[in-house]
Amino acid sequence: MTYLYDKSGQGILFQREASAAVRTYGKVYDPETSGLTAFTQIPANYAHWRRLDYITESFDVIVPIIEKIKIFDVGDAKHASAIVNGNIESVDFSIPMNAQGLEFLLFAIGNPALSSHTSTIKMIQTITCPVVASVGDLSYFFIDVVVASGAIETHLFWFDQDGGGTAPTSPTGIADANRHELAIDAAADADAVAVIVAAAIDGVTGLGGASTGAVVTVTADNAGAVMPARQGDAGGETGCTFAVTTWGSSTYTVTELLTTELPSFTLHVEHTNTTTAESFLWDLFGCVVDSVELNISFDDKIVTYNVGIKCPYAVKGLLATNPPPKKLIQTMPSLYSVKESASNYLIQEGTTDRTPSNVEKITFKISNNIKFLTNIAYQYKTNPVSARRDVTLNIVGQTHENELFNYWQEAYALSGTDYIPTNATDKLNTELKLERTATNDYLQISVYNWLLKEHNFTFIAVDDAVKSVDMTFKDGSANSNGRILDATTFASYIDEILIVGGTA
């Protein structure tokens, strides 16, 4: 039968466009080289793609293409006499995801900055080695390592099965010093292969390797979240299997950007068929987060978020031969994951808890109102500008108090440096903490000053039993630094979202 496009042939990957040293719009991150060429097709063997969170619903990716303009002449009858090419207009589309890494929520606020790898959790993983006959000659796998400076390096280990000693063509973005030969031509069995693999890994700064039978245990010297060890180019299978024993964790802080800039990224989308010629393959450059909506409810079971993306430019891509593994963090956050503690409440007046007694649903949204600017030298738009940031929080639940209703009906007045409800003793603010583990996997966003924009006063039928409240808060006046998102801290087992080291 004819092969049709099916679900298993789909894939979406992404990577940041920048480095710690230089921010270059449209230029995909490459840690070990001078960087990839901006707005240019990504090499098939690029080794630093990252996965999005789980996507469970259908959605459309809109590709920015050259507009076609029909030209009519005064002498035309009913139809155009010519069709000419126009410009490439930026496009909007949304990606619905289940919450795992939640990186794009951070990208809607500012540039994630590495706070520490000081967690006690270090990455521990295993590699089970095959017999020599099952190893593809010149096949390879990757291991990421946190070095002493806090930067992350990607190391490639390649199998020399026949003793030829000629290395494979290096995937894009792997420095020669980070490519390691595994000469297994004299290995008698899988145990002997494991000894060779363990010795090579143990020789890498920041990694420890030890073999037991055919299994190599890889232990990180430094704490930190990295991408798991993974199979390289699908065209040459190593025969190894990879597993994580303990996930490392890293912590980031995000300062709300007050300038018009936002961190940008490249998306790579695939929908494959039996031949590359029949596949849909695109690289989308200069993408920015226009909006993020975080939905947390009891009925939805797990936390979801919808990311609105704007993109100005795309080119046809190549099939990614070094795709990253899935994000295999098993625990999905739910409504129960929203944590409150003394002076850290979902809604608080100063430090006094004003959160409704029962909360059924929370919707937190950031809108950046992105506009792309034009440049006479380009056919597509460049330089995304975020002039105003809108932040909203909607809470649905039940309450036994009327304080927030009173605050909603009141005027707002200047109190010190803040505008607050006239009858309140302090401003309304939020500590939104979405926690899987208390110290190593959480997201905490501090909102400085809310304007209580909407509050219902609904009479209920007997079947409803008790009155529900439905409130919407919007960003009010900012702090002395001009920020509403006062602080954001992110600790995660998910591989690194920050670009560290290298140039781009």
Given this model, what pLDDT does residue 198 score?
98
Q: Is a pLDDT exceeding 80 seen at residue 34?
A: no
End-to-end CA distance of the chain: 46
Joined tokens for residue 298:
């009891």
pLDDT in tens, 246-263: 998 888 888 998 888 888
How do residues 286-307 score in pLDDT, each as one tens digit? 999 999 999 999 988 889 999 9
Query: What is the average pLDDT across 435-460?
Result: 87
288, 313, 323, 253: which is closest to 11 by C-alpha?
323
pLDDT at 328: 72
Identity of the highest mean pLDDT range in 117-126, 175-184, 330-339:
175-184
pLDDT score at 277: 72
Confidence of residue 498 (pLDDT cuts 50, 70, 90): low
Determine the Cα–Cα distance for residues 13 and 265; give it in Å rounded to an integer: 10
Query: Which tens digit of pLDDT belongs to each residue from 61-111?
Result: 999 999 999 999 988 888 999 999 999 999 999 999 998 888 899 999 988
Structure confidence at residue 221 as a pLDDT band (50, 70, 90): very high
Query: And the tokens for 288?
Result: 């920015």
pTM, two decimal places: 0.90
Backbone angles phi and psi of 371, in degrees to 5: -130, 135
CA 254/CA 345 separation, integer angstroms: 20
Give the model confidence (pLDDT) of 344-367 as tens digits: 999 999 899 999 999 999 999 999
Band of residue 203 on the pLDDT scale cut at 50, 70, 90: very high
Q: Which of 225-234, 238-247, 255-264 has the highest mean pLDDT?
A: 238-247
How many Cβ atoms from other residues are within 10 Å of residue 442's Cβ? 19
In the predicted structure, residue 35 carries a pLDDT above the cut 80? no
Give the model's pLDDT for residue 20. 43
- 293 or 404, higher pLDDT: 293
